[in-house]
Amino acid sequence: MRSSAVRAGIGILLSTLIALFATIAVEIIARGSLTDVGDFLTSTARPGMTTVVMLTVLMLSLDAAFGRRFQSVLIIVPLVLIPAFVSNQKQHYLSDPLYPSDVLFGRQIVELLPVMVRDRPLTAVALVIGIVVFAAGLVMAWRYCWRHLPRVSHKARVRRLCLGLPVIFAFGSLMDYSQYSWIRDRLQVVPMMWDQKENYRSNGFILAFIFNVPMADVAAPSGFGSQALDAIPARNYGYLRGPSEKPDVIMLMSESFWDPTRLNSVTLSADPMPNIRAAQSGYVFSPEFGGMTANVEFEALTGFSNAFLPYGSIPYQQYIRTDVPSLATFFRSEGYVARALHPFSGWFWNRNEVYKDFGFEEFRSEETMPAMEKRGIFASDDSLMKEIMQEADGLDRPFFFFGVTLQGHGPYEPNRYANNSIDIQGNLNDAERATLTTYTQGIKEADDSFRMLTEWASKRDRETIIILWGDHLPPLGSVYMTTGYMPDQVATRKAPVEVMKKEHETPLVIWSNRKGSKSDVGTVSPSMLPYHLLKFAGYEHPYYTGFLGRMQKKYPIVDRYQLIARDGTPTPDWVLKPAGLDPLVRDYRYLQHDIMFGKAQSRARFFPETAGTEDSGT
């Protein structure tokens, strides 16, 4: 009995050592160096040992299932080392690490092979030889181990599985980063989905890869295919045409811009947003709350919807790997200068690469902009507006500028502003009052910046259109609960229409220096903004004003949990009922899937401006 316990203990120790060495090898291979590997394994803020324990439990459980000690090494070690090697090679050419969703873009990976052969022929030859030798060696090692490794007794197998499977299930709760995990919190594992390079560096290749697994499953919708795409009617969708005089367009997504006067249990000494309120056209129904800006941006620039993608996915990180039609593509086809501006690091949300795929000819980020005035640690809205005006004044051609502000970003620390010009009265504690005061002052300054921009535009000869909206409600913490605005610190995902609008609406302005504000837009998803912008500018387009025009007329809000019709009637849980789905919504999903994941068969009909640049897809 004692000797069997000793053997079991030695077996667990050896499995742990193998898991440790495998983890170290994976990190060295994936990173291409020893950089940060030591910190990854020893720092309490990084989950190196979590990875080791996870691999150990997995190997012990597989050994129990096979009935042979250490047999699982021949499965687990190749399973983690090979993807790490592929990730290392991918980063030589595409800079990004390997994602599970890369299997959706296998064609691109295959296309990299000739590049690798030309660039590193000896490596390519060695790789082929290595694969053959490795496969043969693995088969031989499996046969040898199966015959010679010690067996695991029946009782020990049952015991290991009874202990191991619940632990594996618990580790499985780590995967869905979009949901709170008590285990993940205790282990100090922090998914960093906004910056995948840091995610892989900090959490290690194995855990970071796991975090991205739920987003890799983008199955073709039921009924999708060539015939279904051809059957989508193109009549009455409008031909590509525009106004005789092309207007300049400035599209501004204002960070966390929202109307704090909606907190009806507090009193503000002045309206913090009188100019935007006077020009307001309606509301944007944000699919996010308190963050995930890139998802709102994705919808507004493409006219596609997050509702058709896996919950928790971030298209900028997982899916944009090739040219995707966007407003930038369209405006460039019309002879515009298409430029994106954001006074933060270009790597954030992978914007450096995504903006290229969207067709922007230039992205002005913190790295390429002049030094900007700050509010706290963030660039002020005023400084971004001044940069936009200066760049616009230097252009002769019409332009499309897409700007993302930064000043309104949380957290809303006390004393961010030297002077807070709006007093707040209400039943708030000191910390809540400080948070709301800082946020409200930021809204006032954003409103002042908007006024400065419209005053400048009003003096211009060429028509200038400005569209501005907030990406999501701000993360004000307990302020929402104390004021009775929401029952929790974050918005709900499923609720009646009036509650959802209350917790997801942000102000929307569509304004022209010649026509004034577009009125009565109502509440729309960000994906409907291309329709309203191009229609207001005088353009007709098969997709942006044609297909989206039909969509917004019937369903101005397309949310993953409910469709909301123009009369406010909801269709809850529509994604779970594909058989009864409105053909219009079905076609919307077909078109998006075809462009993002299919063969782009519909591109010529619905995005004629991309003629000659079609990607045959994967």
Query: Which residues are registered as beta bridge partners of 362?
Result: 339
- The continuous run of DSSP H or E covering 285 comes out as strand 282-285
pLDDT of residue 614: 46
pLDDT of residue 321: 83
The three-class DSSP label of residue 135 is: helix
- What tokens were used for 289? 């709350």
CB 379 within 8 A of CB 416: no
Contacts of 247 (CB under 8 A, 6+ apart): 398, 462, 463, 464, 465, 512, 537, 538
- What tokens were used for 393? 């004044």
Amino acid residing at 558: V
Closest CA to 254 of 272, 266, 234, 231: 272
**Beta-sheet pairing, 266-268 with 248-254:** unpaired
pLDDT of residue 445: 95
Closest CA to 163 of 92, 261, 58: 58
pLDDT of residue 55: 92
Residue 7 to residue 602: CA distance in whole angstroms = 63
Split the chain (618 residues) into runs of 10 and give each run's mean pLDDT: 67 87 92 84 79 90 86 89 87 71 60 59 79 85 81 82 84 72 80 75 88 78 91 67 89 96 92 96 93 92 93 84 93 95 88 93 92 90 95 94 94 88 91 93 96 96 96 91 89 88 96 94 96 95 93 94 91 84 94 94 90 47
- Range 549-577 burial, b when 16+ CB lie within 10 A, else e: bbbbeebbbbbbbbbbeeeeebbbebbee
pLDDT of residue 271: 95
The torsion angles phi and psi of 434, rounded to 5 degrees, stand at -65, -40
Residue 566 to residue 520: CA distance in whole angstroms = 12
Residue 381 to residue 389: CA distance in whole angstroms = 12
- What tokens were used for 515? 């026509």
Query: Which residues are registered as beta bridge partners of 375?
Result: 378
